[in-house]
Structure 1
Amino acid sequence: MENRVTELFNIKYPIVQAGMVWNSGWRLASAASNAGILGVLGAGSMYPEVLREHIIKCKKATQNPFAVNVPMLYPDIDKLMAIIVEEGVKIVFTSAGNPKTWTKWLQDKGIKVVHVVSSVKFALKAQEAGVDAIVAEGFEAGGHNGRDETTTLTLIPMVKEKVEIPIIAAGGIATGNAMLATMILGADGVQIGSRFVASVESSAHQKFKQAVVDVKEGDTQLTLKELGPVRLIKNDFYTQVQELYKMSPTINDLKVLLGKGRAKKGMFEGDLDGGELEIGQIAGLIHDIKPVEEIVAEIISDFQKAKQLAVSL
């Protein structure tokens, strides 16, 4: 299954396992890479030396390429980038910031750079910054998200119309037929997050994994746009947020309610009531917790079947 994404990353299948905070440690990233896709470490939930530890363990667990995702809104970015270079990581995904900040610096050191965007405007800015590829993410996605609520179905063809670099579709993708659909719309590959949260190798707490499996349609919502849009499972913390909105809160009011470590509390420590439970809308289609190898095999099998069906229509 060779195309611009498989060639860019030297992988078997054009699939990226998203670098998600508190979910994407070395076990998940190495398992993904061993399954023929691009595994990604989520540096957003790691102190610099913790990231180094995960990179070292990932290198020992796989001989295949893997990447690090670095959300630029977090502190110690310079330290994280230095460790990435020192440990010989060859692919970096940047997000939540200006792609011009680090792209050339990384590329000068032989590192491929991919930037995550949620609009045509930012896709063009990323291309102008010289990134090697972009992840175009619709608002169905979990975690931090775009403010405009543009769906993947509309975002991908609009981005395809304007940019020339490889496009990786994200948001609402967990199956092979969804992968095919986005590629027909113009994507060169896909990034999948939520499905890999509910994997054996995910570093998420078992209670959070089960909560993802239990999600039904309508159980998630995009909120906290003033701080940084995030899609959450509707739990007690989410209810507190909605009650606060009824009082026309200031940004500081929202920050006080959010506090610190809320995402860790929910996804990593398993507090399903008071934690911030980030997941995509597609969780309503996730019904079990499986090893990464089985998830990838199922996605590829479904992709091939959907492709054959499309040809026969």
Structure 2
Amino acid sequence: MQNTITSLFNIQYPIIQAGMVWNSGWKLAAAASNSGILGLIGAGSMYPEVLREHIQKCKKVTTKPFGVNVPMLYPNIEELMAVIVEEEVKIVFTAAGNPNTWTSWLKSRGIIVVHVVSSVKFALKAQAAGVDAIVAEGFEAGGHNGRDETTTLTLIPMVKAKINIPLIAAGGIATGQGMLAAMVLGADGVQIGSRFVASTESSAHINFKETVINTKEGDTQLTLKELAPVRLIKNKFYNDVQALYAKGTTAEELKVFLGRGRSKRGMFEGDLEEGELEIGQVAGLIHDIKPVSAIVSNIISEFEQAKAQLSSL
């Protein structure tokens, strides 16, 4: 299955395992890369030396390409980027920030740069900054999201019409059918997050993984737009946030309530009451915890079956 995305990253299938905070350690990234897709280490939840350890461990168990996802809204960005260069990582996905900040610096060091956007406006800015590809992520996605609430179904063709570099679709994709639909709309590949949270190799706590596979339609909601929009499973923490909104809370009051480490508490430590539980709407289609290799195999099989069925429509 060769196209611009497989050629860009030197991978077998045009699928990227999303770099998700507290879920995407070296075990997940290596397993993804060994399965023929691009694995990403999620640097957003890591101190610089922790990232270095994950990169080094990943190198020991895979000879395939892998990358690092760096959300630019987190501290220690300079140190994280320095580690990436020192460890000779060749692929970086940036998100939640201005692509002009790091793109030229990374590319001058021989690194492929991909930027994640949630609108046509920012896709054009990323292209102008010189990125090698764009991830366009729809409103359905888990974790930090766009304020405009543009769905993947509408975002992908709108971005495709305006850019001339490879396009990766994200948000609400967990199956081969979803992958095919995104590519019919103009995507050259897909980025998948939530499905890989519920994998054996994910660094998420088992409590969180089991919650994900029991999540149903309507169990997630986008909130905290005043700070950084994030899609969460509705739990006690989520309900407490909504109670603050009902009282007319300010952004500063929200920051005080949130404190530090809520996402770690929920996804990594397994506190299902007081922690942030970030997942996409597509969790309603995820019903089991499987090894990454099985997940990738299923997605490719579903993709090929769905493609074969198109002729009958």
Whichever residue aligns with residue 268 of structure 1, its letter is: F
Question: Does residue 36 of structure 1 match 2:1?
Answer: no
Deviation of residue 311 (structure 1)?
2.5
Instruction: Specify the alignment match of 1:280 in structure 2.
Output: 280
For the pair 1:165 / 2:177, whether they are aligned, the reply is no
Count of residues paired in the alignment: 313
- Alpha-carbon deviations, 1:85-134, whole Å to 9, x = none? 11010000000100011101100111000000000000000000000000
Instruction: Name the structure 1 match of 2:224.
Output: 224
Structure 1 position 77, deviation (Å): 0.6
The equivalent of 2:176 in structure 1 is 176
Give 4+ residue runs of structure 1 displaced > 6 Å after superposition.
none
Partner residue in 2 for 1:209: 209
Could you tell me how far 1:267 is from its partner in structure 2? Answer: 0.1
2:90 maps to which residue? 90
CA distance in 1, matches of 2:160, 2:68: 25
Q: Secondary structure at the match of 2:165?
A: coil
Say which SS state the counterpart of residue 114 (structure 2) adopts.
Answer: strand
Stretches of structure 1 that go unaligned for 5 or more consecutive residues are none
CA distance in structure 1 between the aligned counterparts of 2:300 and 2:174, rounded to whole angstroms: 11
RMSD: 0.4
Within-5 A mapping of 1:1-313: 1-313=1-313
CA distance in structure 2 between the aligned counterparts of 1:297 and 1:257, rounded to whole angstroms: 42
Superposed CA deviations along residues 218-244 of structure 1, whole A, max 9, x for unmatched, are 000000000100000000000000000
Deviation at 1:247, TM superposition (A): 1.0
1:148-192 residue CA offsets vs partner (Å, 9 max, x unmatched)? 000000000000010000000000000000000000000000000
In 1, Cα distance between the equivalents of 2:106 and 2:204?
A: 29
The alignment-based identity, stated in percent, is 76
Q: Distance in 1 between matches of 2:285 and 2:312?
A: 26
Structure 1 residues 240-269: Cα deviation after superposition (integer angstroms, max 9, x where no partner): 000000111111111111110000000000
Q: Which letter does structure 2 place at the counterpart of 1:161?
A: A
Q: Which amino acid in the other structure matches residue 170 of structure 2?
A: A
Distance 2:56 2:64 in 1: 13
What is the alpha-carbon distance in structure 1 between the residues aligned to residue 194 and residue 262 of structure 2?
Answer: 19
TM-score where L is the length of structure 2: 1.00
- Aligned residue type for 2:217: E
